[in-house]
Structure 1
């Protein structure tokens, strides 16, 4: 995705407030051994872009003063109750250095899972994103988690995710191997099944 921004000359709380009044959002670009650059972006365009999953998990093409560089969205500050973005941070990408970033999980085949269809199991998504490391060129937009074969009472863990070539879980996630999804039979369904199995007294 391409993002157009403009260099920001004035800094400080007052200047940022005036920017927001004119429909702009202040931001900063940092990293890759270069000086931080303060920028401003069109608020409405940014607001709509932030609603897209890909904006949060992909390498973005940031254009400032006619020059483009690759960045990742690193932080967004929202107003507590208004639909307002207060500030955004972007990190420059070095093509030769591994990224540590979070990518979304897309759960597939849940509706066709036999435990769901036949046993009334409920599959819970414990996490919706996971932290990985890879070179920028290998960064996936998302990772798929296949729920086709998970059985009632079972869980899927981080290491069960099929990772593309060049992508790895960050070390502490790999070591902990947390649960990412679990299948359970609701208590009500178990009670109903038990009642159905009871034979009436003669």
Structure 2
């Protein structure tokens, strides 16, 4: 990371190609499943143990928080994750993909194209990784996680920012919950065989 990439400019911080546990990873609209229609929808999901991928050409968000945590499956299996929260987000050219285990089948969902972004509020996500080009406004790194969420582990690492912009976003997550998703131009497809390709 060069000095020019790491310095703050007019209240913003630019970092390139980052991993979720190293710098803030913004919450994205993951966890979208069959049956969701165009428009405002509520979503809340439990951890299944399976990961899914989410990509977007650009994400703009307000009210970002991140801290370490664990995602737990029904059988007790525990996965360390980066827990990320975002109050409000716009997602351009959103793509989500879920691969069916042991079968050449991938479910893909696309939304937010044509200049009409998908929007989300009250997002909470457990993620394994995130990559992209990011700019954070008024970022604070090294906060006590319990100042960001009372249920976090005391004295554990946390970080927050007023605003975030991520381009070329690629995220792998385990679970997502949200207040509302608005999916403009929603397209869902079950891809089989040679067409069973994920978002990235």
- TM bucket (normalised to shorter chain) is under 0.3
Higher helix fraction (1 or 2)? 1
TM-score by length of 1: 0.22
Give the structure, 1 or 2, with the largest relative contact order (CA under 8 Å, sep 6 or more): 2
What TM-score do the two structures reach when normalised by structure 2? Answer: 0.22
Higher relative strand content: 2
